[in-house]
Structure 1
Amino acid sequence: MTSRRLQQVIAALMGTTVIISSNCFAQDTLPPTVQAAPTATSAGAMLTQEQLDQLVAPVALYDDPLLIDILTASTYPLEVVEAKRWVADPANAALQGDALTTALAAQDWAPSVKALVPFPQILQTMDAHLEWTEHLGEAFLAQQADVMDAVQRLRRRAQSAGMLKSSPQQTVANNGGIVTISPPASEVIYVPTYDPWCVYGPWPYPVYAPFYFTPWPGYCVSADYIIDFGVGISWPFWFWDWGYFEWHRHAIGIYHERYDQFHPGREPAGTWRFDPAHRAGVPFHDQRNVQQFQPRQNDQRAFRGYVGKEGEPAESVRPAPPAFRNYGSGQAIREQSQRGEASLRGMPGGAPRAFGGGGGGRGGGFFRGGRR
């Protein structure tokens, strides 16, 4: 067992959330005050403003349509893992245009997961940091209004620090304290890369420093205050831009005609709603979400034809992982996904061919791979 894995197991047993660098131990790169932060989700308690800001800091400065996809896709972690695996297949990665659209339409994934396919680096990051993805998704389900408020709070901080402004890659507007970030008029989507430790100005919560999964020496240099952009991807992409933030209502509105292209006949009424069927049996850790969604999830499995003795809903043929809690859950989700793929390959004709990332750009990423 690697030292990092051992630290993860210890953190799970102690009921703590540890900020872990993707390249080295957290205690080697982060101040001691941010090595461990208490998690409130297991007891069903509300996450605080400090915890929410810490959680959304890596993505709060993404443009609105892309942030909608990330927030809603994070509620379906197994589908994120599956999409990342398909995108990694070189045969699928070559698909573009109509071929990509056709292959994507055949996948029974949530619209937000499909919309992230042209951004393979985002899927890679969400998969590599499944624990963060899981926490983000559960927080969004349990405290959607608070998560959206945290995004606005951080955007205003970045504006006040002089870091968030309009550029050829994005259009930033502030209307009465509501900060919106839109793709440029050129209809090219750019994914920002930035240092959450630096772009928001002095971070006000020492114990809840922003999540950042690469080494940090404890200070910011001039280059770290820059929001960088990679090569853009042209749109409209067929499965892109299906919703919009209703910031004052704390909701995600639906573009009905576009959303119906994802799943005809399954369009939500008015605003985005979590679809338990796309959770695919992955258990919730936050007890508030267990109480709100678990019965509906069981009903969805029964509706899809998983019926046991005397009409009792039976377990899905797509087995849920034994646990999906703080650390160690990511591996369980990946193993579940791999078991499903192996089963398909054992059937006549093998596994179905799907799709991959297109667009020809690097697509940016959540966390920088190293310091300048």
Structure 2
Amino acid sequence: MRISTRHLPMVALLFVAAAGASPQASAPAAAPAASAAQSETTFKREELDQMMAPVALYPDSLLAQVMMATTYPGDVADAVKWMKAHPDAKGDDAVRQVANQPWDPSVQSLVAFPQVLDLLGKDPAWVQKMGDAFLAQPEAVMDSVQRLRRQAQAAGNLKSNEQQKVTTEPAAPAAAGGTTTVVQPAAQTIVIEPANPQVVYVPSYNSTTVYGGWPYPSYPPYYYPPSPYYYPGGAFVAGMAWGAGIAITASLWGNFNWGHSDIDINVDRYNNINSNRQINRSDNTWRHNSANRDGVPYRDRASREQYGRQLDGAGQRDNFRGHDPARAADRDRARQSMSQRGFETPATSNREARDRAGQASQQMNRQQAGGRDMAGTGAQRNAQARDGARQQYSGNRSGQSNSAFAGAGNPGQSRASSNRGHGSYSASQRSGSRSAGRQMSRPARSGGGRSGGRRR
């Protein structure tokens, strides 16, 4: 997790010599390139203090869980949603409730502390920045925490009480090797522990005042007011507010190793709470699991190169993550059986679950749109049929009206028609009178049929 820059100048000199140019002429061009690479991979001291201010005074074990979890910002967002749906869930019992969630165990552990998830849910961008900083600069992040604790202690706002125990110990010597950030070693390390190992109190404090005078006016500390639901009344004692204590036995299984700038794992506690993700006793140092990153991009190039491809020792990391080949084979067989029976197989990741939900929503929208189109077409056809029936009915009535009252609107035409009718009738009467005395002759029937036969 350390990034060495000791060999960058030598590489630049070799490149210049191969090109046939003088090192002095090319040095100005090499310096901006190195500076650009460093600006991409590191946060400045003031930026680190700014982002770490809201959580630097957490107990060491809780802060270690937070830092591990922030490297999986997508899982943290899902855990925040779960917490809002279960606001009263807390402690080891809450962690067991999410045992089947596809989140990293460090994220699952945080549901024991709804106050913490409430804080992390206020600014997802801040969560991702902390995780990116911890992956790229673990030493600098841990130095920032110690620097902030010394400030709070000097301001009189960090001391032991019934909720916490604050102690100091000699600082470990700096590890050998170059790093991207040069920090002077501290004279002492401040350790914060729960006063009762079985009960954890999550402090809430105003980061703009608890550290005394802030040394970076251009980078004021982040501050998110506490939720009244978890801190009713907001009573501050020595600059801090304390909610209800949370009884735990195994939810906190990580802790800072200040001398080596990493996190140690309590394997017994981890296996006790993560019954379906057992790890070996030798897997007692935390390693980032890129599979739980859910496609969230890494900020710096070194992290992209390190976690964007498979590295040596992946099998050991799989054991730490709880990946067991036998269980994986059982899951595959179960999925195949469900698929053969026509059941939809469970999603294997958060991304797949979200994609399925999006596809289902789109399909439902298309079905609803199709139903509206069919309903509209049917209504249009019904309207056209009604219009046609009305037109036909009107045409029939119009035809009947014309035949019954023809000429009603033209009296002259009516009288002319009537006179023609009378004239035709008179002529037929006269013709009938002339032929009244004539005898009509009929042709005789042929054939000698029986007399008395019927006339046809």
Task: Tell me, in whole angstroms, the C-alpha distance in 2 between the residues paired with 1:87 and 1:267.
Answer: 31
The alpha carbon displacement at 1:157 in A equals 1.0
Deviation sequence 1:267-326 (CA, Å, 0-9, x none): 7733111011111222223223212211239x99xx989xxxxxxxxxx97586xxxxxx
Q: 1:266 to 1:70 in 2, by over 3 A?
A: same
Q: 1:243 to 1:102 in 2, by over 3 A?
A: closer
Contact 1:198 1:225 (8 Å CA) reproduced: no
1:285 to 251, 276, 299: 299
1:294 aligns with 2:308: yes
TM-score, with length taken from structure 1? 0.63
1:55 aligns with 2:66: no
Contact 1:251 1:272 (8 Å CA) reproduced: yes
Contact 1:195 1:224 (8 Å CA) reproduced: no
| 1:19 aligned residue | none
Task: Tell me, in whole angstroms, the C-alpha distance in 2 between the residues paired with 1:126 and 1:82.
Answer: 11
1:195 aligns with 2:206: yes
Secondary structure of the structure 2 residue equivalent to 1:171: strand
| 1:139 aligned residue | 133
Secondary structure of the structure 1 residue equivalent to 2:192: strand
Contact 1:281 1:318 (8 Å CA) reproduced: no
| 2:85 aligned residue | 89
The alpha carbon displacement at 1:74 in A equals 0.5
2:161 to 142, 163, 167: 167
Task: Tell me, in whole angstroms, the C-alpha distance in 2 between the residues paired with 1:110 and 1:98.
Answer: 16
Q: 1:132 to 1:53 in 2, by over 3 A?
A: same
Q: 1:282 to 1:158 in 2, by over 3 A?
A: same
Contact 1:65 1:243 (8 Å CA) reproduced: yes
Task: Tell me, in whole angstroms, the C-alpha distance in 2 between the residues paired with 1:284 and 1:337.
Answer: 22
Contact 1:74 1:133 (8 Å CA) reproduced: yes
Secondary structure of the structure 2 residue equivalent to 1:73: helix
The alpha carbon displacement at 1:108 in A equals 2.9
2:253 to 216, 219, 242: 242
Task: Tell me, in whole angstroms, the C-alpha distance in 2 between the residues paired with 1:97 and 1:205.
Answer: 37
Residues paired across the two proteins, number: 269
Contact 2:52 2:144 (8 Å CA) reproduced: yes
Q: 1:51 to 1:85 in 2, by over 3 A?
A: same
Alignment RMSD:
3.5
Q: 1:337 to 1:192 in 2, by over 3 A?
A: farther
Deviation sequence 1:333-367 (CA, Å, 0-9, x none): xxx97556667999xxxxxxxxxxxxxxxxxxxxx
Q: 1:100 to 1:150 in 2, by over 3 A?
A: closer
Q: 1:199 to 1:101 in 2, by over 3 A?
A: closer
Identity %: 37
In the TM superposition, 1:1-372 aligns within 5 A as: 44-90=40-86, 93=87, 100=94, 102-176=96-170, 177-185=188-196, 187-213=198-224, 226-236=239-249, 238=250, 240-261=251-272, 262=274, 263-265=277-279, 269-296=283-310
Contact 2:164 2:195 (8 Å CA) reproduced: yes
Contact 1:64 1:244 (8 Å CA) reproduced: yes
TM-score, with length taken from structure 2? 0.52
Unaligned stretches of 5+ in structure 2?
Answer: 1-35, 171-187, 226-235, 319-324, 330-346, 363-456
- Matched to 1:112, the amino acid is S
Contact 1:193 1:227 (8 Å CA) reproduced: yes
Q: 1:116 to 1:56 in 2, by over 3 A?
A: same
The alpha carbon displacement at 1:43 in A equals 5.3
Contact 1:42 1:285 (8 Å CA) reproduced: no
The alpha carbon displacement at 1:187 in A equals 2.5
Q: 1:267 to 1:94 in 2, by over 3 A?
A: farther
The alpha carbon displacement at 1:77 in A equals 0.8
Which one is further off, 172-181 or 138-147?
172-181
Contact 1:276 1:296 (8 Å CA) reproduced: no
| 2:440 aligned residue | none
- Matched to 2:243, the amino acid is G
- Matched to 1:282, the amino acid is V
Contact 2:92 2:248 (8 Å CA) reproduced: no
Q: 1:109 to 1:345 in 2, by over 3 A?
A: farther
Task: Tell me, in whole angstroms, the C-alpha distance in 1 between the residues paired with 2:281 and 2:359.
Answer: 31
- Greater gyration radius: 2
- Matched to 1:264, the amino acid is Q
Task: Tell me, in whole angstroms, the C-alpha distance in 1 between the residues paired with 2:307 and 2:296.
Answer: 11
Contact 2:90 2:113 (8 Å CA) reproduced: no
Higher share in helix: 2
